[in-house]
Amino acid sequence: MNYDFQETLRKAFEQFILTQQNRFPAGEILKIDLHCHDFNSDVPDELIGRILNVPETWLSSKKLIEKLTGNGCDTFTITNHNNARSCYALQDKGLDILTAAEFSCLVPDFEIGIHVLAYGFTPEQEIRLEKLRKNLYHFLEYARLHQIPTIWAHPLYHYSVKKTPPPSFFNKMLVIFERFEAVNGQRDTWQNLLVKEWLEQTSCAEIDQYAHELRIDPQQYCSDTYRKSMSGGSDCHMGIFAGMTGTYLHIPDLQQRLKTVSRSQLALEAIKDGRMAPFGTYQNAEKMTIAFLDYACQVALNYKDPGLVRMLLHKGNTSDKLISFIASNLFSEVQKHKITTSFIRIFHDSMMGEKPSFFKKMAVKPIYKPVFEEVVNIANKNKESGKQLIDGYYNSILKINRQLYAILTKRLEKKLKKSDGGKYFKDKSPEELIEQLELPSSIRSYLESDNKGKSINISDFLDGLSFPFFGALFILAAHFTGVKTMFNTRPLLRDFSKRLGRFEHPQRILWLTDTFGDNNGVSVFLKEMLVEIKKNNLPIDIATCSQTLQPEEHLLVLIPVKEFSLPVYEEYTFKIPDFVELHNLFLSGGYDRIMCSTEGIMGIFGLYLKHAYTVEASFFMHTDWLMFARKVLNIEGHRLDRIRRMLRSFYKAFDHVFVLNLDQKNWLSGSQMNLNPEKVHQTGYWVSARFKPVFPNKKKMFGISEDAFVLLYVGRISKEKGVLELSAIYELVKQKCENVKLVVVGKGPASKQLKDENPDAIFIDWVSHDRLPEIYSSADLLILPSRFDTFSNVVLESLSCGLPVVAYNTKGPKDIIRNGKDGFLVSGQQKIPERIITYFNNKEKEIFKRSAIERAAAYNPQIIIPDLLKSTGLNGWENFMSDIQ
């Protein structure tokens, strides 16, 4: 795993902060958090918050000042959104507070919204600023005229991913602003360092050039055109981290000045003159996760239903309103559960340093004791500061999450055993289960259970699961929201770092899969991919979930928190990872894109990571699940259409889809699936170098004479693989060819039937891949009766060993086999015996064998991997190609 990028950021940031700390004499500074909020930030900028009618915080001014004081601040301000009510209220009580607010301003020529901090204005001036904020230029002109200092807050945040601001926007802002928030406590270190680097790299000549190009007179907006000052602020809304990030203000002869001038007035002078030095700590997503978790707790405790009509009529698209509707119901449901709300209240109080009472400790059930103890630890850690506080809080949250997972999975398993849930699924056919995937449009249908047992009583089933479920959900949602907030502008950060030539994020792929140690085609391919990754040190790590696999270089193994099987597919065990662990793995590994190989839990979580971290996600389509549903589960008609629509929604959610044959590519980009053809890429497998011709030895491998003609089948012995056709094919061939033997290598649910129908055939159980080259080399022709395979590793393994193949003219095989040269492609079952007999009588078998080896050589990693990397957008793929070659 690569930690170099985060370590580079940490060292650079700590050096920057150390330099800033030493700029001014220790006895001549005021310490202030220039960006913090309390309950008067009551109208959130985020649309969903406005739809739900919730404020950004319920934090009182008193608690905020207490927290700021506790973290060492000696001068105070409150920068609520678009108002200074808290400042005025505290001033009326006799407190020395610098008047300030954070104004949401519109840059009209770019149609981009930004946040601007303003200080030292009067109530009358605030009214004017509020009216002018819809045009940033008018706002700044007024502020300049009335000597109201402004700071551009978090310059690289608050933009839509779909509309990344162009370089000209930043050039213009650089000319018209003279103060910038370079250290924001709610943004990650990467973003903060890019702001700092941008300001430090800008020269006076560049400012003049931008002003000339944009036809701007900087004096309209700035008192000093070339002075670009940097500030810091916690941007804390919950109060937990208020004052941990902020600004040192230099006041020459401070002690003497304090005798006649207030701290707030001295602070205002220093801000105007740019005598500022930011302070703070290195951070990733931990602070944001903690802050959003506490915010979710406060919402749950204080939430009031905004009303459905309000939601429907409010500004926003369907997606915004649907999310708001789900969130509203979630919070309303939480408030109905006493244990859950009691814990949330204790958790929030502990975050603010208030320990639970003795009676609350006594009332906790034994199963929740470990969770409660960690909450108490959080309260104890409140006295710490800086990194110790953040790490202490976050480690306790991770422990609580694991404990909740354990309680939830244990109770869920017990519920399923006790209730009719298990019987419910087992008694249903695959078609009936697919039918149940449709959600009723009637709300009453979710609340009532009919007499025919068509549904599970949700209320009874969830009893006892609510607390661990909601607790784990809140923690995961806080992680998602935290990184989403920080990395929502990732395209901008990526472009910005490239433009500056500093702190460019590494290009690394996290490859997610539900299967790796199993005996299937996906696992075989991924194991070969891992070999190439290691050999060429490719920027790819494979992550899977397993109790038995051991991690190794480039292979990350997560221990499942729960394993289960479905009645319709009992042979496969689904493994559920700790989602928070996987979430953090993506960040700590320095990845910037995702590849998924399975449509299961890991594939779904890949989409979660895509949206959380604002990265591209690709899907490698190994299996034709529509064919599987039809051939194995016997699903037809409108139920099959439902599966197709589900698959379409899933695949369309990815930025790229990789397929293994031309049929799949045409199907996905055709009218049934409607994927963008430019996003669908055909790729392929390759096989291990061990697959090469060896000296044939039929006596050793099969116990038959060397002159026998061997028909070989290798693979899973199951209905969908077409193995039941082998009996008829073998019988017809025996009628025309003497001394022919059918050899079947593999096992599966149809093994007994196939053995009963072919008592003279040779059956070999699963063998190691090391033995397969000898088996292929000792056979004469491979039969692939499957119409199901999307590629078929078996075909490529066979050709690599010089063994021709007869297969149906479908999907994967028809893209690999050259009919009549290295094998045969047939249109129907009756044609297979004809081709076998023709080949049996062919005197030029060696030509076929040489052609087979030649064809297999075209499928190698030297060609496939570079093309794959290029299609994922991984820059520098040509270097990987040259390395591989």
pLDDT 10s digits, 290-333:
989 999 999 999 999 999 898 888 888 888 888 889 889 888 88
Tokens 């042979």 sit on residue: 571
- Residue with more model confidence, 698 or 843: 698
Output the CA angle 505-509-513, nearest 5 degrees. Answer: 150
pLDDT band of residue 692 (cuts 50, 70, 90) is: very high
**Predicted pLDDT of residue 879:** 57
**Predicted pLDDT of residue 142:** 98
**Predicted pLDDT of residue 657:** 97
pLDDT 10s digits, 32-80:
999 999 999 988 877 888 899 998 899 999 999 999 999 999 999 999 9
CB atoms within 10 A of CB 336: 9
**Predicted pLDDT of residue 595:** 97
Residue 624 has pLDDT above 60, yes or no: yes
CB atoms within 10 A of CB 857: 11
Dihedral of CA atoms 755, 759, 762, 764 in degrees, nearest 10, equals 30
Q: How far apart are CA 235 and CA 185, in angstroms?
A: 6
Q: Tokens in use for 451?
A: 């007499």
pLDDT 10s digits, 417-436:
665 555 555 556 656 555 55
Q: Tokens in use for 290?
A: 């903690």
**Predicted pLDDT of residue 437:** 58
Residue 1 has pLDDT above 50, yes or no: no
Q: What is the mean pLDDT of the chain?
A: 89
Q: How far apart are CA 682 and CA 662, in angstroms?
A: 7
Please check whether residue 803 is in contact with residue 783, taking contact to mean a CB–CB distance below 8 angstroms. Answer: no
First vs last Cα of the chain: how many Å apart? 25
Q: Mean of the pLDDT values across residues 699-709?
A: 94
CB atoms within 10 A of CB 552: 11
Q: Tokens in use for 241?
A: 């981290």
**Close Cβ partners of 263 (under 8 Å, ≥ 6 residues apart):** 30, 74, 75, 96
Q: How far apart are CA 81 and CA 38, in angstroms?
A: 10
**Predicted pLDDT of residue 853:** 96
SS3 825: strand
Please provide the size of the chain in residues.
885
**Predicted pLDDT of residue 2:** 45
Residue 459 has pLDDT above 70, yes or no: no
- Longest CA pairwise span in the chain (Å): 114
Residue 552 per-residue DSSP state: B
User: In this structure, is the dihedral angle defined by the CA atoms of residues 284, 287, 291 and 294, taken in order, positive or negative?
Assistant: positive
pLDDT band of residue 557 (cuts 50, 70, 90) is: very high
| Beta pairing class for 762-764 and 740-745 | parallel
pLDDT 10s digits, 400-411:
999 998 888 888
pLDDT 10s digits, 112-146:
999 999 999 999 999 999 999 999 999 999 999 99
- Residue with more model confidence, 848 or 485: 848
SS3 494: helix
Q: How far apart are CA 400 and CA 345, in angstroms?
A: 15
Type of residue numbered 536: N
| Closest CA relative to residue 247, chosen from 77, 384, 392 | 77
**Predicted pLDDT of residue 599:** 92
Q: Tokens in use for 714?
A: 């290798």
**Predicted pLDDT of residue 453:** 46
**Predicted pLDDT of residue 68:** 96
Q: Mean of the pLDDT values across residues 861-879?
A: 84
DSSP string, 448-484: ---TT--S--HHHHHTTTHHHHHHHHHHHHHHHHHHH
**Mean pLDDT lowest among 11-25, 306-320, 659-673:** 306-320
**Predicted pLDDT of residue 452:** 47
**Predicted pLDDT of residue 80:** 96
Q: Mean of the pLDDT values across residues 580-591?
A: 92
| Beta pairing class for 709-714 and 781-784 | parallel
pLDDT band of residue 451 (cuts 50, 70, 90) is: very low
pLDDT 10s digits, 69-116:
999 999 999 999 999 999 999 999 999 999 999 999 999 999 999 999
Residue 358 has pLDDT above 70, yes or no: yes
Q: Mean of the pLDDT values across residues 611-618?
A: 95
Please check whether residue 231 is in contact with residue 34, taking contact to mean a CB–CB distance below 8 angstroms. Answer: yes
**Close Cβ partners of 676 (under 8 Å, ≥ 6 residues apart):** 669
**Close Cβ partners of 327 (under 8 Å, ≥ 6 residues apart):** 48, 52
Residue 566 has pLDDT above 80, yes or no: no
The DSSP element (H or E) to which 835 belongs, if any, is helix 831-840
Residue 91 per-residue DSSP state: H
Residue 449 has pLDDT above 60, yes or no: no
| Closest CA relative to residue 839, chosen from 848, 827, 851 | 848
Contacts 24+ apart (CB under 8 A), 400-404: 400/371, 400/374, 400/375, 400/471, 400/475, 401/471, 401/472, 401/475, 401/476, 401/578, 401/580, 402/578, 403/370, 403/371, 403/374, 404/371, 404/468, 404/471, 404/472, 404/475
Q: Mean of the pLDDT values across residues 375-385?
A: 85
Q: How far apart are CA 467 and CA 334, in angstroms?
A: 8
pLDDT 10s digits, 232-288:
999 988 888 999 999 999 999 999 999 999 999 999 999 999 999 999 988 778 888
Residue 768 has pLDDT above 90, yes or no: no
Q: How far apart are CA 423 and CA 174, in angstroms?
A: 66
